[in-house]
């Protein structure tokens, strides 16, 4: 269905090609998962399929891409609309109209589809994607999962044979991701569509894939094959696969269900070991306290009567569905919103009244999109500005950056960095003031596994130095890896607060894969299991 024949592609002005000599043949009617680190060329590869590369992006391309027998050399993206539906990384950025129905019809209008056919297909698509209740809603009022489904629907109405999606669930909460993945499953199984998707959150999608395409990057050849096969060699793998490799299970399990069936011997071996306790002992004095905090926007209250505190030496994970009040709580703690009831006390300051320059010495927040606080033309200028903003000695931020991400060069433009590198840079900018309390809002959006590991290392170092960290996140694997305490919020209230293992192990939504496989034992991460196994064998 999709044939790449010796495809080599170089962006204009790039020193080396992004894709080198790719040759593979994706069969029809399968869900193919494209796996690779950030910057390995996954997005470029996906854009080749509908001709955005090279028609839209420019650059030099050798070889040929054939979709359904048509070459992207001659057919432009707009000519391939009836064969390939392409959904980009940010669905909101791709919306052309402002309501659900209009967005679904847009592609057909361009194809000059007859009005009765259009009407029929819009109704069919609304049903297929479960959007009929939302048909008149303005697109901006939809949740992330709903927006992603509308974006998928908008390319489905032209009846393409292939659907290409670039990280469809990266920015979604678990619930929204489930919606989208269930939809994709249905399209593959009921309609026989060929679906190609790239994704970082492998733990969410790998069990649904029929084929995995591993893009190692750096000019090495891609591998296309059965998921278990490719995953056994992949440098990037979800925890279930890592656990399977560690325990030597065969065939390699890809889902929690498969792994649980094979895990009985491992559970027996581990049952004698006490599950590792997270560092609970060396907690210091409270860094921030809220008492009966209420935050309201207009008539809706985002945070309702929250009383809690963060102490030195702990990493607190704030969890809960989108709109549960996590971000609002963080914003109240740095004074971005004023409380409408109760008090916030950060090192004796009231954040909504304190001067920014005084507050940054007590608490720092890295916002959801790190680029919001970056604006200089180079990394060096950014670091220098950060030092002068907080009156830190010159070179503080740059020194931090050299330790955390030495590969980021001083003359890089912040806009050219990868998502993970930009996060580290924003982190350094905030850390230049050495705030004892660091807040992170959704730090792992769009991060690959290696970037996540680096973030984990940074956070551990901070708490060892006596700082406190609070992060609002949907990423259960990150929480399992690094958090010492988990606070779950729902409808603006705290519904659970306790040590990580106590809160997440029994929860269907927040349990990491390892905990699900090894339940009722309270193990959270592959590395914990690995250390325990090494100890028992020696």
Site for other proteins in 37-56 (CB under 8 A): 50, 52, 55-56
User: Closest approach of Cβ 465 to other proteins, in Å?
Assistant: 20
DSSP state of 412: S
How many Cβ atoms sit within 10 Å of the Cβ of residue 355?
Answer: 9
Indicate the residue among 98 and 502 with the shorter CB distance to other proteins: 98
Indicate the residue among 88 and 217 with the shorter CB distance to other proteins: 88
User: Closest approach of Cβ 424 to other proteins, in Å?
Assistant: 16
Look up tokens 């080198």; give the residue: 20
Residue count at the site for other proteins (CB under 8 A)? 76
Residue 75 CA to residue 366 CA, distance in Å, equals 44
Residues within window 477-536 making contact with other proteins, judged by CB under 8 A = none
Selected range binding other proteins among 7-15, 75-83, 220-228, 309-317, rule: CB under 8 A? 75-83
Among 33, 40, 83, 95, binds other proteins (CB under 8 A): 95
Residue pair 484/459 in contact by the 8 Å Cβ criterion: no
Indicate the residue among 77 and 499 with the shorter CB distance to other proteins: 77
Among 93, 407, 520, 535, binds other proteins (CB under 8 A): 93
Residues within window 205-224 making contact with other proteins, judged by CB under 8 A = none
**Contact between 415 and other proteins (CB under 8 A)?**
yes
Residue pair 437/468 in contact by the 8 Å Cβ criterion: yes
**Contact between 76 and other proteins (CB under 8 A)?**
yes
Residues within window 117-156 making contact with other proteins, judged by CB under 8 A = 118-119, 122, 133, 136-138, 140-141, 154-155
Burial 30-65 (b: 16+ CB within 10 A, else e): bbbbbbbbbbbbbbbbbbbbbbbbbbeeebebebeb
Give the residue among 405, 421, 411 at the shortest CA–CA distance from 377: 411
Alpha helices in 232-320 (DSSP H): 239-247, 256-262, 264-270
The H or E element that residue 515 is part of is: helix 513-518
The H or E element that residue 215 is part of is: none
**Contact between 12 and other proteins (CB under 8 A)?**
no
Selected range binding other proteins among 33-41, 89-97, 193-201, 256-264, rule: CB under 8 A? 89-97
Residues within window 379-408 making contact with other proteins, judged by CB under 8 A = 386, 389-390
Selected range binding other proteins among 22-30, 200-208, 239-247, 296-304, rule: CB under 8 A? 296-304
Give the residue among 203, 157, 164, 159 at the shortest CA–CA distance from 184: 164
Look up tokens 């925890």; give the residue: 239
Residues within window 102-121 making contact with other proteins, judged by CB under 8 A = 102, 105-115, 118-119
**Contact between 101 and other proteins (CB under 8 A)?**
yes
User: Closest approach of Cβ 48 to other proteins, in Å?
Assistant: 13
Residue 310 CA to residue 52 CA, distance in Å, equals 48
Burial 188-206 (b: 16+ CB within 10 A, else e): beeeebbbbbbbbbbbbbb
Residues within window 429-458 making contact with other proteins, judged by CB under 8 A = 429-430, 433
Residue 113 CA to residue 48 CA, distance in Å, equals 26
Residue 243 CA to residue 237 CA, distance in Å, equals 10
Among 96, 394, 409, 457, binds other proteins (CB under 8 A): 96
Indicate the residue among 92 and 509 with the shorter CB distance to other proteins: 92
User: Closest approach of Cβ 455 to other proteins, in Å?
Assistant: 18
Selected range binding other proteins among 10-18, 216-224, 252-260, 351-359, rule: CB under 8 A? 351-359
Indicate the residue among 101 and 448 with the shorter CB distance to other proteins: 101
Indicate the residue among 1 and 240 with the shorter CB distance to other proteins: 1
Beta bridge partners of 289: 309, 345
**Contact between 243 and other proteins (CB under 8 A)?**
no
How many Cβ atoms sit within 10 Å of the Cβ of residue 143?
Answer: 17
Residue 102 CA to residue 91 CA, distance in Å, equals 15
User: Closest approach of Cβ 326 to other proteins, in Å?
Assistant: 17
Selected range binding other proteins among 34-42, 181-189, 190-198, 350-358, rule: CB under 8 A? 350-358
Indicate the residue among 167 and 258 with the shorter CB distance to other proteins: 167
**Contact between 97 and other proteins (CB under 8 A)?**
yes
Indicate the residue among 163 and 241 with the shorter CB distance to other proteins: 163
Look up tokens 């050299």; give the residue: 402
**Contact between 81 and other proteins (CB under 8 A)?**
yes
User: Closest approach of Cβ 493 to other proteins, in Å?
Assistant: 18
Beta bridge partners of 255: none
Residue pair 78/55 in contact by the 8 Å Cβ criterion: no
How many Cβ atoms sit within 10 Å of the Cβ of residue 333?
Answer: 28
DSSP state of 480: H
Nearest 5°: the CA angle 234, 514, 536 is 95
Sign of torsion over alpha carbons 267, 271, 273, 275: positive
**Contact between 313 and other proteins (CB under 8 A)?**
no
**Contact between 296 and other proteins (CB under 8 A)?**
no
**Contact between 72 and other proteins (CB under 8 A)?**
no
Cα torsion at 459, 460, 465, 468 (round to 10°)?
50
Burial of 238 (0-12, 13-18, 19+ CB in 10 A): buried
**Contact between 338 and other proteins (CB under 8 A)?**
no
Selected range binding other proteins among 170-178, 329-337, 475-483, 510-518, rule: CB under 8 A? 329-337
Indicate the residue among 110 and 282 with the shorter CB distance to other proteins: 110
User: Closest approach of Cβ 80 to other proteins, in Å?
Assistant: 8
Residues within window 262-291 making contact with other proteins, judged by CB under 8 A = none
């Amino acid at each position: 269905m999709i044939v790449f024949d010796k495809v080599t592609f170089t962006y204009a002005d790039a020193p080396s090609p992004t894709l080198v000599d790719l040759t593979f043949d994706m069969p029809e009617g399968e869900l193919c998962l494209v796996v690779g680190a950030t910057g390995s060329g996954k997005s470029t590869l996906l854009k080749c399929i509908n001709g955005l590369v090279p028609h839209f992006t420019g650059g030099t391309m050798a070889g040929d891409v054939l979709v359904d027998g048509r070459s992207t050399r001659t057919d432009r993206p707009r000519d391939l609309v009836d064969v390939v539906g392409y959904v980009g990384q940010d669905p909101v950025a791709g919306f052309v109209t402002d309501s659900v129905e209009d967005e679904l019809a847009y592609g057909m209008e361009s194809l000059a589809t007859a009005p009765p056919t259009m009407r029929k297909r819009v109704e069919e698509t609304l049903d297929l994607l479960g959007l009929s209740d939302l048909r008149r809603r303005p697109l901006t009022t939809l949740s992330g999962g709903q927006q992603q489904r509308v974006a998928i629907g908008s390319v489905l109405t032209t009846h393409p044979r292939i659907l290409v999606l670039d990280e469809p669930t990266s920015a979604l909460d678990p619930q929204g991701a489930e919606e989208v993945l269930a939809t994709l499953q249905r399209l593959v199984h009921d309609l026989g569509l060929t679906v190609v998707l790239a994704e970082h959150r492998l733990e969410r999608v790998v069990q649904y894939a029929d084929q995995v395409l591993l893009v190692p990057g750096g000019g090495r050849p891609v591998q296309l094959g059965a998921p278990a096969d490719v995953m056994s060699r992949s440098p990037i793998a979800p925890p279930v696969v890592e656990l399977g490799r560690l325990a030597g299970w065969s065939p390699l399990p890809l889902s929690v269900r498969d792994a649980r069936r094979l895990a009985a011997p491992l559970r027996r071996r581990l049952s004698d070991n006490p599950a590792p306790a997270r560092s609970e002992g060396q907690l210091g004095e409270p860094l921030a306290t809220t008492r009966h905090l209420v935050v309201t926007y207009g008539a809706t209250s985002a945070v309702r009567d929250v009383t809690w505190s963060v102490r030195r030496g702990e990493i607190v994970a704030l969890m809960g569905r989108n709109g549960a009040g996590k971000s609002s709580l963080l914003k109240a703690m740095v004074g971005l919103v004023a409380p409408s009831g109760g008090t916030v006390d950060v090192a004796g300051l009231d954040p909504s009244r304190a001067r920014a320059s005084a507050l940054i010495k007590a608490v720092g927040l890295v916002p959801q999109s790190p680029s919001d606080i970056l604006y200089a033309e180079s990394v060096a200028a950014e670091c220098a500005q950060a030092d002068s903003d907080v009156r830190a000695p010159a070179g503080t931020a740059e020194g931090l950056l050299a330790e955390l991400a030495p590969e980021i060069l001083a003359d890089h433009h912040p806009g050219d960095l990868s998502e993970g590198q930009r996060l580290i840079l924003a982190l350094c900018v905030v850390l230049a003031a050495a705030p004892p309390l660091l807040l992170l809002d959704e730090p792992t959006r769009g991060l690959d596994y290696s970037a996540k590991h680096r973030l984990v290392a940074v956070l551990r170092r901070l708490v060892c130095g006596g700082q406190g960290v609070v992060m609002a996140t949907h990423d259960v694997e990150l929480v399992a890896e690094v958090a010492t305490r988990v606070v779950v919020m729902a409808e603006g209230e705290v519904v659970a607060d306790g040590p990580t293992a106590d809160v997440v192990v029994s929860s269907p939504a927040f349990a990491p894969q390892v905990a699900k496989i090894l339940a009722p034992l309270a193990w959270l991460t592959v590395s914990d299991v690995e250390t325990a196994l090494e100890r028992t064998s020696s």
